[in-house]
A and B are shown apart, each in its own frame.
Chain A
Amino acid sequence: MSHRPKIAVWKQSSCDGCQLSLLDCEDELLAVLGAVDLAYFPEATSTEKKGPYDVSLVEGSITMPHDVERIKKIRAESKVLVTIGACATSGGIQALRNFRNHAEMMAIVYARPDYIQSLATSTPIADHVPVDYELRGCPISKEQLLEVLTALVNGRSPRLPRHPVCLECKIKGHVCVMVAHQTPCLGPVTHAGCGALCPGYSRGCYGCFGPSDDPKTSPLAKRFLAQGVPAEQVGRLFLTFNANAPPFKAEGLLHGGVESKSAPPTNGGK
């Protein structure tokens, strides 16, 4: 990696929150901007330099026909490609369309769905091109983002955790919300990175960092059911922010809860 790596930040289908995490590094921002050559980051700068790039940070999932060609071009122009956030790494919340009738969903929101070219699925970047590093989370942890940038500037591999939130929770010394309050918690099967935020606020983890390595979702789901959580609620818990991540998808679909309870499409005439 060169002394001042040339960095590009890209967006596909997303809420902009993960790229905003970089601007939220208020203490480090000017230092980061000094350490890198910010070649393309339209949310933050009008500067626009052509590739190739040393590092591309990619936010968002693939949901439009032209996204597929675009991400291939980005990959070809980037030495290192890092996907940032749940949309880019799993398809994000908009991957809930993957389990429903897409045409029906379009008709609920748009008066003329035929004007809009949208894919029936939302898929992660790694389904389309090779990815070098993944930053999980909805949103990502800015500490992890800084770790990746620091590592790449200094020519080393980033150190990212592989353990579940449950371990972070124990390290923090939080009272277990499952044991103490029978609150369903995805901490045992969710990738670390948030610092066990939700249990620290007396709520169960809702899995926004996606599945940890080799997650044992089945015994956890059985435990939820044994505690009296309705099956559909167990399904929805797995099928939210990382619904398309294979372990969450497989477990969630076993329990249901994501099929549309449709009323007539009252929004569709807007």
Chain B
Amino acid sequence: MSTKTINVGYMSRVEGEAALTIKLRGDDVVSAELSIFEPPRLFEAMLRGRLYSEAPDMTARICGICPVAYQMSSCHAMEDALGITISPEIRALRRLLYCGEWIESHVLHMVMLHAPDFFDVPDVAGLAQLHPERVKDALRIKKLGNSILRVLGGREIHPINVKVGGFYKAPTREDLTSLLPELNWALGAAEELLTWGQTFSYPDVAHNYLHVALCHPNEYPLNEGKIVSSAGLSINASDYEQHFAETHEERSNALHTTHRGQTMFCGPLARFVLNYEKLPTRAKEAATRAGVNPNCRNPFKSLLVRGVETIFALDEAIRVVEAYEPPTRAFETATPRAGVGCAATEAPRGLLYHRYHLDDSGLITDAKIVPPTSQNQRVMEEDLYRMGKMLAALPSETARKRAEQAIRNYDPCISCATHFLDLRVERV
């Protein structure tokens, strides 16, 4: 029986360094391997001996694409350890900041990293030649996401205004209302972007995944909620490590997250499936028009779900801005004490868990960080297995591109996933 290998030496349009190898025998996938050669940066070790207040700025440097996610998970975990309750005003501002990151990151992924696959062009410049108006609109929406980060956070990448307990400085009402005209424009433009996305040709695949996401009683999740799964799990972040483990398989160098031995799936599609009813009407209607509903199990349609979540984030940003009154205090004061704190928030790519142990002077003695990409690592490879027959039937170059596209469904952020290396899964 003939064998062939699909090999992508250096994956493009993902954040970080990875390679992909799929071995086929006839129609069967013999092995699918996502090799990560992103250098380890040892954040969990570097954090030891640092003051609790340094964690938001330090962990932001794990990822230039989703620094706010790291700042949010670390702040909430530290507040848990130190017994700090933030005010409703700070909570709303944090949601706004997160919306900025979701908008920026989602549109970056949809149009600049993922959409080129559907048109067989190498990049956004190629896409701009085919669809100049959509690309211009997308860049303008992305810029608006960055504007939120700039106004509230000080800058787009590694914002400087976030601290444990709140913000260094609260914005004025005018700082935020100045964003409203562009936010209102962007809501319409994002709907058009989603309508355009619906015209793409999606491979007809589906699988009954174990979805995992935060779930809040009455809002679409960003900063807080229970960790829930499509199999009925509902736990607090403090119980995360009892249910999710980073395992080390005998035949593998891999460290990947599983839920009680099962492969999990986090990120936009999981959030959407588990939280659909919390979306604002406008986002639900846009989803319906785009043909995605909570029964969607096609990972390629994550692109559309990012579009739906972009509409949610714009709608939520408008809601927060319109209701905003500057808080009397920009932050709650922290008093160092010994303790343990955990938190999970929803990074654009999915669940981001942090745990810290502090000594009585507030120094970090132990830190654990589980990024979304290491939680999705196993499902990415399993998708490649499932696509085996489809890939085997395609010419090599097309199969290679399709395999890369399947990985891009998860918008993997390899820079984040500081602890996965040379994964090998073999099922001969």
Contacts and interface: CB of A to CB of B under 8 A. Distances in A.
Contact of B154 (A30, A200, A270): A200
Contacts of B143: 26-27
A16 to B, nearest CB: 4
A233 B62 CA distance: 22
B403 to A, nearest CB: 13
Contacts of B108: 23
B146 A26 contact: yes
Contact of A260 (B48, B58, B158, B245): B48
A259 B12 CA distance: 38
Contact of B125 (A33, A208, A270): A33
Contacts of B43: 109
Contacts of A47: 122-123
A208 B160 CA distance: 10
Nearest to A108: B45
Given A13-B39, A138-B158, A46 B12 contact: yes
A24 B157 contact: yes
A64 interface: yes
A45 interface: yes
Contact of B246 (A48, A63, A116, A270): A270
Interface stretch (B217-225, B229-237, B264-272, B357-365): B357-365
A141 B30 CA distance: 47
B326 to A, nearest CB: 14
Interface in B15-53: 15-17, 39-46, 48-51
Given A20-B64, A110-B40, A203 B160 contact: yes
Interface residues of A, number: 74
A261 B49 contact: yes
Contacts of A150: none
Contacts of B11: 42
A200 to B, nearest CB: 7
Interface in B97-149: 108, 112-113, 116, 122-125, 128, 135-136, 139-140, 142-143, 146
B116 A46 contact: yes
Interface in A77-92: 92
A183 B343 CA distance: 29
A179 to B, nearest CB: 17
B157 A197 contact: no
A224 interface: no
Interface in A195-209: 197-198, 200-203, 206, 208
B381 interface: no
Contacts of B245: 270
Contacts of B128: 30, 33
A228 B418 CA distance: 37
A210 B44 CA distance: 23
Interface stretch (A93-101, A128-136, A152-160, A161-169): A93-101
A236 B46 contact: no
B419 A109 contact: yes
B415 interface: yes
Contacts of A12: 39
B24 to A, nearest CB: 22
A194 B67 CA distance: 17
A202 B170 CA distance: 10
Given A26-B139, A110-B40, A266-B366, A259 B168 contact: no
B16 to A, nearest CB: 6
Interface residues of B, number: 74
Interface in B148-183: 154-158, 160-161, 163, 168-169
A32 to B, nearest CB: 10
B42 A109 contact: yes
Contact of A197 (B12, B146, B154, B421): B154
Nearest to B147: A26
A127 interface: no
Contacts of A110: 40, 255, 419, 421
A118 interface: yes
Nearest to A20: B64
Contacts of A236: 50-51, 54
A94 B42 contact: yes
A218 interface: no
Contacts of B363: 261
Interface string B356-379: 010100011111100000000000
A270 B255 CA distance: 7
Contact of A201 (B15, B57, B154): B154
A15 interface: yes
Contacts of A11: 16-17
Interface in B377-428: 415, 418-419, 421-422
Q: 10 nearest interchain CB pairs?
A: A17-B64, A45-B123, A105-B45, A270-B246, A26-B143, A13-B39, A108-B45, A46-B122, A139-B157, A15-B64
Given A63-B40, A97-B46, A118-B40, 18 more contacts: A15-B62, A17-B63, A27-B139, A27-B143, A33-B125, A34-B125, A45-B12, A45-B13, A94-B41, A105-B42, A109-B43, A110-B421, A115-B253, A202-B169, A236-B51, A236-B54, A240-B57, A263-B366
Interface of B: 10-17, 39-46, 48-51, 54, 57-58, 61-65, 67, 108, 112-113, 116, 122-125, 128, 135-136, 139-140, 142-143, 146, 154-158, 160-161, 163, 168-169, 245-248, 253, 255, 357, 359, 363-368, 415, 418-419, 421-422
14 contacts: A20-B15, A23-B112, A24-B146, A46-B13, A60-B39, A93-B41, A94-B41, A97-B42, A112-B248, A115-B253, A197-B155, A198-B168, A262-B48, A263-B365
